[in-house]
Structure 1
Amino acid sequence: MSDARPYDALLLLSFGGPDGPDDVMPFLENVTRGRGIPRERLEEVAEHYLHFGGRSPINDQNRALLAALRAELDARGLDLPLLWGNRNWAPYVTDVLRQAHEAGARRVLTIFTSAYSSYSSCRQYREDLARALAALAAEGRTLAVDKVRHYFNHPAFVRTNAAAVRTALDRLAPQQRDGARLVFVTHSVPTAMDDASGPGGNAYVRQHRDVAAAVTAEVAAGLDREPAWDLVYCSRSGPPSQPWLEPDVNDHLRELAAAGVPAVVLAPVGFVSDHMEVVFDLDTEAAQTAAELGLPCERAATVGAAASFVAGLVDLVEERAELARGGSPDKPFLGTLGASHEVCPAGCCRNLRADLPAATGADYAGPVPA
């Protein structure tokens, strides 16, 4: 029987994005505050959003995911209020948690719209949660927040990505498909951030490589051979003097074309939905690069609101609830790294700029579950 106790609300916590041209620069300033990103880089990225009317696709995609989660929760008889909050734009997470508290919530479970370990994809979300909980505590509102484990290697995430890669391969001509290269893409981060990711460091790259290998193995089950694959990066935004993860997807496409690779499938496994880094960096820039090279290129879908992925998220909700009740649920995974933690170890994905409290971690001293 489905059971979400002891949680009395579920929060989808996301990045946020502008809803119109006037929002674009304030949003980017929110995202980059304190990071020393040059103004000219912000203006360059702003043009990416303005190319699409100044509206990020992430908001509508989160609404679609919320609707799919609501349907899956209802199908399992989980009468759990479903919330949506963002780090960098409305609805802001502090406001959403305040409203949840006013509605009677006291223990909230959260799902991040990011599957991996790193400062920007996990700890920064946890810092924002800690900041929100501190603000509510100052108002006399006590609220506890837990999170589901990192789901990069959950079977639902891996297999939904594999299905998308197979669909993309099928769009290639037969003579292209046979030697097609799988190019897995994620957001680049500073190498120092990867060095600090996870409890032992370098978790960001290790997790992505493990997912790429697991997705490739799933895809190969229906083929005569296992495709060759690479892990590449997009959306670098730091100053040239700062080392970031490489290679860039466009540089890599040029190398593959020069090597005579007949076709490429771009698989954006680093992203949950088709937000700006996908629709601009891949569907616009990388697609243009491939066209200029004469390199046949198909882009696999992100997991988005696919039924298989959404079912996996609700499985994670039930898993975390059972753990909170003192149970020992199965924690399925694919790949070699094992199931991730729900409570982050002390110092996990440490903040290289400041020592800030981060909720849902072993070293968090703020409001905690009873």
Structure 2
Amino acid sequence: MYVSLSNIYKNYGDFQASKDVSLSIEKGSLVALLGPSGSGKTTILRMIAGLETPDRGDICINGTRVNTVAPADRGIGFLFQSYALFRYMTVFDNIAFGLTVKKVGKEEIRRRVTELIDLIGLSGLEDRYPSQLSGGQRQRVAFARALAPNPDVLLLDEPFAAIDAKVKEELRMWLRNTIQQIGITTIFVTHDQEEALEMADQIVVTNKGRIEQVGTPQEIYCNPETPFVAKFLGKSSVVEGYDVLKGFQKIDNVKEALIRPEYISIHPQGSLHRYRSVVELGYIEHILFKGNRLEVTLRIGELVLVANHTIDGHAFKVGDAVDVLISRICIYDDNATYLVENEGMNTSSLFYI
């Protein structure tokens, strides 16, 4: 593996920021460190960069242990959340800064900076100052500056936190495509699930200083291995007494279940004839317009669930009685999660994940 962390521990006084963290990252991959605030993801990033030193454990880059190697000698490019561009330097000089510090020749600096300005699509803006750029343009300049010294690994600390939603969406795809084009190993920190799912080749979910799960976006979302990951990813309804739902039986020692919106379909009352034996009667309590879909809150007996509905589907309104079909639920105990298929729809009902 190109970047590896082995049995890493890091304390800040009484606070344990990293607890036995082990992680392997392949060369050229784009990896997201995803978790809530205080989960340890930024500590991992800063230790790889050399801005923090682990109390125990080893960090290796390209087979070399770097625990005692200075940050400047690790071959790391770091993009800060705030961009940290120099206000009184032009676009050209900002990008050239790292090369200038390393005393690279002027002709090589000009060649490299020109190459990067073309890469980020800002040709013609070399002489502008940060205040003359949009937020998205400043982000691209900061990205180019991090790449200028040809680092082996690129680290990004919440790279889109300061950008508005529309520009953020465009920059995500631009950054992913650019990183793939360059082929540089990249690790970024985010608390934005959509960002991680959309951009990353691999997601590392952190919680209370530990790594909960590592996998592809699809693996993490569809097959959560721990209760925390199941609850953290997506927008789920947590329900007790899940066995009152048709097609689901009580599993020993499992009290709660998660039901994601995509596990639920809603139909006009009396219109759903297939799987009739497991259709629930529900009542719509709230409808929220989400642009490309409707988020529908509905009640089935004492249970309140959230489902998605297409904007061009049947025009439901609050108070409507509806047919509800729940295809699966995710149940969990203290150690693992299980996907349970509706027995009335599938003969194979229990999948350990």
Structure number with higher helix proportion: 1
The answer, yes or no, to whether TM exceeds 0.5 is: no
The two structures have a TM-score, normalised by structure 1, of: 0.27
Structure number with higher strand proportion: 2
Work out which structure has the larger RCO, using CA pairs closer than 8 Å and 6 or more positions apart in sequence.
1
